[in-house]
C-alpha cells in the first residue's frame, strides 16, 4: 500500500522515521505502493469438545472445519482461526532496500466456540464494509473498536448507547429536549439580545416559529450580564496566550506532515479551548451572586446523563488526544457546578441556562376586583 507521509519538524526538516531512502526518491515515487510487513501473527484454536449435528452444521464455522472419517464416525480436526482483526494498519512496517531482518511475534491462544463465532462474524462484517466502499483506514478504525476494547466494556457501551436513545425519546416527550434545541439555535439561551443598554429582546421558540418579546432588564439580569462580560474578559486574557503559546510549542517540538496539518491542529485546539471558555462564565456568575439558578430534577438528570455519556465513547473510539481530553471539559464544569449547588442556595428568580425562571416578583399590585 502507499506508505503514510513521514512526519517532520517543519522548522528544521528533521525526521526520525525509518524511511531514510524516501528522501532520495523523487516525489512521484512517494505515492507508489510499497511492501509492508505484519509483525504479529495471532493463532486461535477452539478448545471446546463440542459435538455438532452433521445435518445442520453452522455455516460460519463449517468453512473452518476439516473432516476425517474414523470408522463410522466423522471427526473434525481442531479448528484453527487466524485472527485478522488484530492486524492494524498502524502496526504495519515498511519494507525498504536497507531492511535486513524483521520482527515476528507469533501468539497462540485457545478460544471457545461462542467467542470463535463472534470473531468470525466481526471479521466478515469488516470485510463487508470494504466491499461497500469503506476505505481501508475507515475499516481499520472499526476494527480498533472491537480489538482494542475489552468485550465486556464494549457490551456496556452498547447498553449505555441504547439507554441514551431511550432517554432522549422520553426527554423529548417531556419537552426537556426542547431546551436543548433552543440552546443550539440561539447560541446562549440565557443571554438576552440587547437592543439598547436598558432594553432586551427575548427569543421564544414555539415549535419552529420564533416569537419575540421586548422588555427591560431587571436588576438581577443586569448583574448577571455584567458578571458574564467580566468573566469572558478575564478568561480571554488567559486563553489567548495559551492558544498562541501551544501553537508555537507544537511547531517547535512536534513533528507534522505539512504546514497545513499544523495549522488545522492549532485551529482545532483553539476551538476546544474556546469551547471550554464559554462553559465557565456561568460558574463565575454563580460565584459572584452566591446562588445558583433553579433547575428541575428532570432537566438536571438529563444534563448529568449527557455530561458523562461522552466519556464512555471517548475510551473506545480512536481519536486524537486533544479531542479525547475535550470530552472531559463538561465533567470538570459539571463537578464544579455540583459543588456550587451544594454551597450556595437555589434562587428560583434567576433565569437558568435554558432561559426559564420559576419564580418572578410581581411588577404591580394585585387587582382588588
Model confidence at 332, pLDDT cuts 50, 70, 90, reads confident
How much is the average pLDDT of 122-141? 85
What is the predicted pLDDT for the residue at 109? 92
Of 149, 170, 147, residue with least CA distance to 158: 149
d(CA 317, CA 311): 10
d(CA 265, CA 271): 10
| CA-based R_g, the chain, Å | 30
What is the predicted pLDDT for the residue at 38? 92
d(CA 170, CA 187): 24
d(CA 75, CA 66): 8
What is the predicted pLDDT for the residue at 102? 93
Whether residue 361 is predicted with pLDDT greater than 60 in this model: the reply is: no
What is the predicted pLDDT for the residue at 23? 46
What is the predicted pLDDT for the residue at 22? 47
What is the predicted pLDDT for the residue at 81? 92
**Assigned C-alpha cell, 46:** 477452539
Per-residue pLDDT of 15-41, as tens digits, reads 655 444 444 454 445 578 889 999 999
d(CA 347, CA 340): 12
Higher pLDDT, 344 or 55: 344
Cβ neighbours, 10 Å, residue 253: 8
Whether residue 184 is predicted with pLDDT greater than 50 in this model: the reply is: no
Higher pLDDT, 171 or 329: 329
Cβ neighbours, 10 Å, residue 330: 21
What is the predicted pLDDT for the residue at 55? 78
Percent of the chain with pLDDT over 70: 76
Per-residue pLDDT of 277-307, as tens digits, reads 888 888 888 888 888 877 777 777 777 777 7
Could you give the C-alpha distances from 283 to 91, 181, 218, 290, 307, in angstroms and in order? 45, 22, 20, 10, 16
Of 308, 300, 313, 314, residue with least CA distance to 346: 300
Whether residue 365 is predicted with pLDDT greater than 70 in this model: the reply is: no
Whether residue 309 is predicted with pLDDT greater than 80 in this model: the reply is: no
Whether residue 82 is predicted with pLDDT greater than 70 in this model: the reply is: yes
Per-residue pLDDT of 133-160, as tens digits, reads 888 888 888 888 777 777 777 777 778 7
How much is the average pLDDT of 254-260? 84
Amino acid at each position: 500500500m502507499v506508505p503514510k507521509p513521514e512526519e517532520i519538524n517543519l522548522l528544521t526538516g528533521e525526521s526520525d522515521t525509518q524511511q531514510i531512502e524516501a528522501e532520495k526518491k523523487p516525489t512521484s515515487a512517494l505515492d507508489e505502493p510499497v511492501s509492508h510487513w505484519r509483525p504479529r501473527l495471532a493463532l486461535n484454536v477452539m478448545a471446546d469438545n463440542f459435538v455438532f449435528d452433521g445435518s445442520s452444521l453452522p455455516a460460519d464455522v463449517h468453512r473452518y472445519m476439516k473432516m476425517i472419517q474414523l470408522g463410522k464416525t466423522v471427526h473434525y480436526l481442531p479448528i484453527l482461526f487466524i485472527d485478522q482483526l488484530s492486524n492494524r494498519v498502524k502496526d504495519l512496517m515498511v519494507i525498504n532496500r536497507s531492511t535486513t531482518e524483521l520482527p515476528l511475534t507469533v501468539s497462540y491462544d485457545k478460544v471457545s466456540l461462542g467467542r470463535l463465532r463472534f470473531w468470525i462474524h466481526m471479521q466478515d462484517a469488516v470485510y463487508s464494509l470494504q466491499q461497500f466502499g469503506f476505505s481501508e483506514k475507515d475499516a481499520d478504525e472499526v476494527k480498533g473498536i472491537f480489538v482494542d476494547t475489552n468485550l465486556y466494556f464494549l457490551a456496556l457501551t452498547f447498553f449505555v448507547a441504547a439507554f441514551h436513545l431511550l432517554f432522549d425519546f422520553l426527554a423529548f416527550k417531556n419537552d426537556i429536549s426542547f431546551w436543548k434545541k433552543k440552546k443550539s439555535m440561539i447560541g446562549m439561551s440565557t443571554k438576552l439580545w440587547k437592543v439598547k443598554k436598558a432594553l432586551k429582546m427575548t427569543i421564544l421558540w414555539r415549535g419552529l416559529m420564533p416569537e419575540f418579546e421586548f422588555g427591560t432588564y431587571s436588576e438581577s439580569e443586569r448583574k448577571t450580564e455584567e458578571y458574564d462580560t467580566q468573566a469572558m474578559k478575564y478568561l480571554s486574557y488567559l486563553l489567548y496566550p495559551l492558544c498562541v503559546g501551544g501553537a508555537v510549542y507544537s511547531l517547535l517540538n512536534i513533528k507534522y506532515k505539512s504546514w497545513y496539518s499544523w495549522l488545522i491542529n492549532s485551529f482545532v485546539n483553539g476551538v476546544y479551548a474556546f469551547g471550554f471558555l464559554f462553559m465557565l462564565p456561568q460558574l463565575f456568575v454563580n460565584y459572584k451572586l452566591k446562588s445558583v439558578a433553579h433547575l428541575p430534577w428532570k432537566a438536571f438528570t438529563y444534563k448529568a446523563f449527557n455530561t458523562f455519556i461522552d466519556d464512555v465513547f471517548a475510551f473506545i473510539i480512536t481519536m486524537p488526544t486533544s479531542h479525547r481530553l475535550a470530552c472531559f471539559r463538561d465533567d470538570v464544569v459539571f463537578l464544579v457546578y455540583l459543588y456550587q449547588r451544594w454551597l450556595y442556595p437555589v434562587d428560583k428568580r434567576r433565569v437558568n441556562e435554558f432561559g426559564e425562571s420559576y419564580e418572578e416578583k410581581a411588577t404591580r399590585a394585585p387587582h382588588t376586583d
